[in-house]
C-alpha cells in the first residue's frame, strides 16, 4: 500500500481542520482529493509529507511511519506545495540540480535526471532563465519538475493547476495523466473537471471529514436521484400540447411531466421518472404513435458537480 | 554531511551572486579604514589596535544585517516547506546556513589584510597578535551569526529579525561595561557571558581555552535553539 492513513486528526487550537479521516491509496492509482476551500486538503497533504505532525492518527508511506522515520518516508515522496514556493533568484537548471542534491540523487545521475525532467516538463526554452522571470505556467512546471526529479514512487500535488490559463491546464493535466501510469499520484483540487479529467478515484472531503470515496462514475451512480429527461417536440397546429403531455404522463414510471417553454417551432417538455428507470424508449414510441415529431431528447446526468454540491453544502 | 554541503554551496552562491557582499565590503573598509589611518597617522602606532577596538562595535550592526534573511526569507516565500519536506534534517539546514554566512563574513574581512601588509612596510609588526586577532574576529562573528540565524528563524520579517539579533548581540557586548551596577557576586559570571571581554583576551594574543570554549559553546547553543525554533511548527 503506497499511502495509508489511519484516523488522522489535526487540531488548530480548538478547530479540527482534519477530523478522524482514514483512507488508503494503492500503487499506481491517481486519486483526486476534492473539497471546497478550507476543507482540510492542504493540511492533510502537509501531514502526509510530515511537514506538520498530526494531533492524532497515523500516516504510512510505503509502510513507513512518517512520524517515526520521516527522513526515509520523505525519500519516497515528491511534493508540490499549494503555493509552489521557488527560489526566485536561481536559474531553472541550478535549482533543479540543487533539489536533486537535497534528494540525494547520486552525483553521476544528477545531470541525466535534470535533463530528463527539463524535457518531460517542457522547460527547454527557459532552462537558463531565472525562476523569478518565468510566467506562472512555467513556474508551475518547475514546481512539478522539482517534485518528480528524484523519481519518487509517490507524488503529492497540492492544487497543481491553480492560476494557470486553460491551455496550460490542459497541458499539466496531460502531464499528470502521463505520470500516473507509473506512479502513485494524489492531487488536491477544488476544480471538478480536473478530477473527471485525470483521476481514477475521488476522495471528497468537507469540514475535515471524508464524505465520499470511489470512482467518479461509481459515485455518479450512487448519488443519482430521479431520472430527468428533456425533450423537444416539433410544434404543429395539428396537435395540442396538453394532449401530448397527458399521453407522456401515462407512461409507466413517469412521475411528472411539465411543459417548460415553447418557442417558434418547439415545445420543451421536462419529464422526471422514478429512480433507476429509463423511460426514454417509451417516450420515443409514444410520440411516434401520436404522429408527432421528436426533435430532441436529452438525459440530464447527475454530474460530479451535483454530488459535490450535495455533499459539501452545509 | 553531503546535505550540509549542498545547502552551504547553494547559500554561498546566492550570497556571492548578489551585490550585497560587495557593498558590505566597501562599507566595512570605509569604517575600519578610517580607524586604521587615524591610529596610524595621529597616534603613530604600528598596530591593528585602532581597527580591532572598533570591530566588535561594527559587528553589532554588520552581522545582524548579513544574517537576517537566512530563514526569514525562506519562511516568507514558503521555500522552508520545500526544504523541510526533502529528506534532510533541520540540523543540515541550520549548519549549512551558518557555515555559508560565516564564509561570507570571512570573505568581507579579507580586504583588511591590506592593513596588515601596509603595516609591515612601516615598522616591525608582531604577527602573533595579528593571527590571533583574525581568529578572534571569526569566533566573534561566528557567535553573532549564530544569534542572527536564530533570530531569523523566529520571524518571516527581516527587519524584526535584524532588531532581535541586534538586541541580543548588543546585550552580549554591553554586559561587561555595566559591571559597576552589578552585585559583586555576579561580576565574574557576567564577565564570562560578555562577548567583548573574550574578544579582547584573544586579540591580545592570549589564546585561552576558556575563551574558545565560550564562543564554540555559544554557537552550539544558538544552533540548537534555531533547530528548535524551526520545529516549533510541529508544536
In whole angstroms, what is the distance from residue B104 CA to residue B161 CA?
A: 19
Higher pLDDT, A45 or A242: A45
Phi-psi region of B70 (alpha: psi -120 to 50; beta: other; left: phi over 0): alpha
Q: Which residue of B has its CA nearest to A54?
A: B234
Nearest to A104 among B14, B80, B87 (CB): B87
What pLDDT, on the 0 to 100 scale, is given for residue A111?
Answer: 93
Q: Which residue of B has its CA nearest to A45?
A: B85
A75 chain-B contacts, CB cut-off 8 A: 87
Buried b / exposed e along A228-239 (16+ C-beta atoms within 10 A): ebebbbebeeeb
Which of A23-27, A261-265, B187-191 has the largest mean confidence? A23-27
Q: Which residue of A has its CA nearest to B8?
A: A98
CA distance B44 to chain A (A): 48
DSSP classification of residue A209: E
Taking only the tens place, the pLDDT of each residue in A260-288 is 888 778 888 888 888 777 888 888 888 88
Bridge partners for B126 per DSSP: none
CA distance A200 to chain B (A): 26
Q: Residue A150 burial (CB < 10 Å; 0-12/13-18/19+)?
A: buried
Phi-psi region of A72 (alpha: psi -120 to 50; beta: other; left: phi over 0): alpha
**Residue pairs spanning A and B at CB distance below 8 A:** 64
Taking only the tens place, the pLDDT of each residue in A67-89 is 899 999 999 999 999 889 999 98
In whole angstroms, what is the distance from residue A278 CA to residue A4 CA?
A: 40
Q: Residue B77 burial (CB < 10 Å; 0-12/13-18/19+)?
A: middle
Mean pLDDT for all residues in chain B? 89
The answer to whether B133 and B202 have CB atoms below 8 angstroms apart is: yes
Q: Is the pLDDT of residue A247 over 90?
A: no
Mean pLDDT for all residues in chain A? 87
Decide if A101 and B6 are in contact by the 8 Å CB cutoff: yes
Q: Is the pLDDT of residue A312 over 80?
A: no
**Residue A218's pLDDT band (boundaries 50, 70, 90)?**
confident
Nearest to A42 by CA among A194, A148, A159: A159
CA distance A39 to chain B (A): 20
Q: Which residue of B has its CA nearest to A83?
A: B78
CA distance B149 to chain A (A): 19
Residue A205 phi, psi (nearest 5): -120, 140
Enclosing domain of residue B51: 2-234
Cell of A287: 410520440
Taking only the tens place, the pLDDT of each residue in B44-88 is 777 777 788 888 888 999 999 999 999 999 999 999 999 999 999
Q: Is the pLDDT of residue A146 over 80?
A: yes
Q: Is B78 on the interface with A (CB under 8 A)?
A: yes
Taking only the tens place, the pLDDT of each residue in B122-149 is 877 788 888 888 999 999 999 999 999 9
The answer to whether A91 and A131 have CB atoms below 8 angstroms apart is: yes
Q: Around A74, how many Cα atoms within 13 Å sit in the side-chain half-sphere?
A: 24
Q: For chain A, which domains are there? A: 3-222 (3.40.50.300), 227-308 (3.30.70.3190)
Q: Which residue of A has its CA nearest to B10?
A: A98
Q: Is the pLDDT of residue B233 over 90?
A: no
Q: Is B77 on the interface with A (CB under 8 A)?
A: yes
In whole angstroms, what is the distance from residue A172 CA to residue A160 CA?
A: 8
Segment 22-61 of chain B within 8 Å of chain A by CB: none
Q: Which residue of B has its CA nearest to A67?
A: B234
In whole angstroms, what is the distance from residue A238 CA to residue A227 CA?
A: 30
What pLDDT, on the 0 to 100 scale, is given for residue B72?
Answer: 95
Phi-psi region of A56 (alpha: psi -120 to 50; beta: other; left: phi over 0): beta
Decide if A71 and B233 are in contact by the 8 Å CB cutoff: no
What pLDDT, on the 0 to 100 scale, is given for residue A80?
Answer: 93
The answer to whether A178 and A21 have CB atoms below 8 angstroms apart is: no
Q: Around A135, how many Cα atoms within 13 Å sit in the side-chain half-sphere?
A: 9
CA distance A130 to chain B (A): 12
A146 chain-B contacts, CB cut-off 8 A: 82
What pLDDT, on the 0 to 100 scale, is given for residue A168?
Answer: 80
The answer to whether B21 and B107 have CB atoms below 8 angstroms apart is: yes
Decide if B89 and A71 are in contact by the 8 Å CB cutoff: yes
In whole angstroms, what is the distance from residue A238 CA to residue A241 CA?
A: 10
Higher pLDDT, A143 or B194: A143
Cα first-last separation, chain A: 33
What pLDDT, on the 0 to 100 scale, is given for residue B4?
Answer: 95
Please give the helix or strand (H or E) that residue A229 lies within, else none: strand A227-234
Provide mean pLDDT across the span B194-212.
Answer: 85
What pLDDT, on the 0 to 100 scale, is given for residue A1?
Answer: 66
CA distance B86 to chain A (A): 6
CA distance B75 to chain A (A): 10
Decide if A146 and B82 are in contact by the 8 Å CB cutoff: yes
Q: At what angle do helices B49-67 and B127-154 cross, to 10 degrees?
A: 20
Nearest to A89 among B2, B3, B14 (CB): B14
Q: Is B83 on the interface with A (CB under 8 A)?
A: yes
Decide if B84 and A72 are in contact by the 8 Å CB cutoff: no
Cell of A161: 493547476
**Residue A314's pLDDT band (boundaries 50, 70, 90)?**
low
Which of A91-105, A162-176, B8-22 has the lowest average pLDDT?
A162-176
CA distance B81 to chain A (A): 7
Taking only the tens place, the pLDDT of each residue in A38-63 is 888 999 999 999 999 999 999 999 99
Number of domains into which chain B is organized: 1
> Which of B70, B76, B81, B85 should be substituted to probe chain A, the one whose Cβ sees the most A Cβ atoms within 10 Å?
B85
ipTM of the complex: 0.87
Interface of A with B (CB under 8 A): 46, 49-53, 71-72, 74-75, 77, 79, 81, 83, 85-90, 94, 98-99, 101-104, 146
In whole angstroms, what is the distance from residue A241 CA to residue A236 CA?
A: 9
Which of A94-108, A255-269, B203-217 has the lowest average pLDDT?
A255-269
Q: Is the pLDDT of residue B93 over 80?
A: yes
Taking only the tens place, the pLDDT of each residue in A179-213 is 778 889 999 988 877 888 888 899 989 888 998 88
- Three-state DSSP string of B1-43: CHHHHHHHHHHHHHHHCCCHHHHHHHHHHHHHHHHHHHHHHHC
In whole angstroms, what is the distance from residue A81 CA to residue A104 CA?
A: 20
A157 chain-B contacts, CB cut-off 8 A: none
Amino acid at each position: 500500500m503506497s499511502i495509508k492513513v489511519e484516523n488522522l486528526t489535526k487540531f488548530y487550537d480548538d478547530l479540527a481542520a482534519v477530523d478522524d479521516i482514514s483512507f488508503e491509496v494503492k500503487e499506481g492509482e491517481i486519486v483526486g482529493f476534492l473539497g471546497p476551500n478550507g476543507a482540510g486538503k492542504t493540511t492533510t497533504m502537509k501531514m502526509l509529507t510530515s511537514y506538520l505532525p498530526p494531533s492524532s492518527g497515523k500516516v504510512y508511506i510505503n509502510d513507513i511511519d512518517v512520524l517515526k522515520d520521516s527522513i526515509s518516508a520523505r525519500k519516497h515522496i515528491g511534493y508540490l506545495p499549494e503555493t509552489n514556493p521557488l527560489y526566485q533568484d536561481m536559474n531553472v537548471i541550478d535549482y533543479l540540480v540543487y533539489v536533486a542534491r537535497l534528494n540525494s540523487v547520486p552525483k553521476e545521475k544528477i545531470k541525466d535526471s535534470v535533463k530528463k525532467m527539463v524535457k518531460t516538463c517542457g522547460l527547454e526554452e527557459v532552462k537558463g532563465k531565472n525562476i523569478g522571470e518565468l510566467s506562472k505556467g512555467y513556474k508551475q512546471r518547475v514546481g512539478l519538475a522539482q517534485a518528480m526529479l528524484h523519481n519518487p514512487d509517490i507524488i503529492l500535488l497540492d492544487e497543481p493547476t491553480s492560476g494557470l490559463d486553460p491551455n496550460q491546464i490542459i497541458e499539466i493535466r496531460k502531464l499528470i495523466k502521463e505520470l500516473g501510469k507509473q506512479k502513485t499520484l494524489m492531487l488536491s483540487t477544488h476544480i471538478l473537471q480536473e478530477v473527471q479529467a485525470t483521476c481514477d478515484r475521488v476522495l471528497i472531503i468537507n469540514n475535515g471529514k471524508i464524505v465520499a470515496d470511489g470512482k467518479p462514475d461509481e459515485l455518479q451512480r450512487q448519488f443519482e436521484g430521479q431520472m430527468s429527461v428533456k425533450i423537444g417536440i416539433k410544434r404543429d397546429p395539428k396537435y395540442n400540447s396538453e394532449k401530448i403531455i397527458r399521453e407522456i404522463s401515462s407512461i409507466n414510471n413517469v412521475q411528472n411531466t411539465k411543459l417548460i417553454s415553447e418557442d417558434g417551432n418547439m415545445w420543451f417538455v421536462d419529464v422526471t421518472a422514478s429512480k433507476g428507470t429509463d423511460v426514454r424508449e417509451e417516450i420515443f414510441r409514444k410520440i411516434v404513435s401520436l404522429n408527432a415529431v421528436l426533435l430532441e431528447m436529452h438525459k440530464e446526468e447527475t454530474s460530479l458537480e451535483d454530488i459535490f454540491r450535495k455533499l459539501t453544502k452545509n | 554531511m553531503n546535505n550540509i554541503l549542498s545547502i552551504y554551496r547553494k547559500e554561498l552562491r546566492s550570497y556571492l551572486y548578489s551585490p550585497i557582499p560587495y557593498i558590505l565590503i566597501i562599507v566595512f573598509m570605509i569604517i575600519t579604514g578610517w580607524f586604521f589611518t587615524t591610529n596610524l597617522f595621529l597616534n603613530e602606532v604600528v598596530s591593528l589596535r585602532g581597527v580591532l577596538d572598533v570591530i566588535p562595535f561594527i559587528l553589532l550592526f554588520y552581522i545582524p544585517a548579513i544574517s537576517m534573511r537566512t530563514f526569514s526569507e525562506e519562511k516568507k516565500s514558503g521555500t522552508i516547506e520545500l526544504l523541510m519536506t526533502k529528506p534532510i534534517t533541520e540540523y543540515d539546514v541550520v549548519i549549512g546556513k551558518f557555515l555559508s554566512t560565516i564564509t561570507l563574513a570571512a570573505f568581507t574581512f579579507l580586504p583588511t589584510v591590506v592593513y596588515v601588509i601596509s603595516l609591515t612596510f612601516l615598522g616591525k609588526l608582531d604577527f602573533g597578535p595579528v593571527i590571533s586577532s583574525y581568529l578572534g574576529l571569526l569566533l566573534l562573528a561566528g557567535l553573532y551569526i549564530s544569534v542572527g540565524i536564530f533570530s531569523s528563524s523566529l520571524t518571516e520579517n527581516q527587519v524584526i529579525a535584524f532588531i532581535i539579533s541586534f538586541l541580543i548581540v548588543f546585550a552580549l557586548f554591553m554586559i561587561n561595561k555595566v559591571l559597576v551596577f552589578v552585585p559583586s557576586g555576579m561580576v565574574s559570571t557576567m564577565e564570562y557571558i560578555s562577548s567583548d571581554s573574550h574578544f579582547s583576551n584573544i586579540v591580545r594574543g592570549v589564546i585561552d581555552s576558556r575563551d574558545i570554549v565560550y564562543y564554540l559553546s555559544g554557537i552550539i547553543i544558538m544552533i540548537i535553539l534555531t533547530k528548535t525554533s524551526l520545529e516549533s511548527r510541529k508544536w
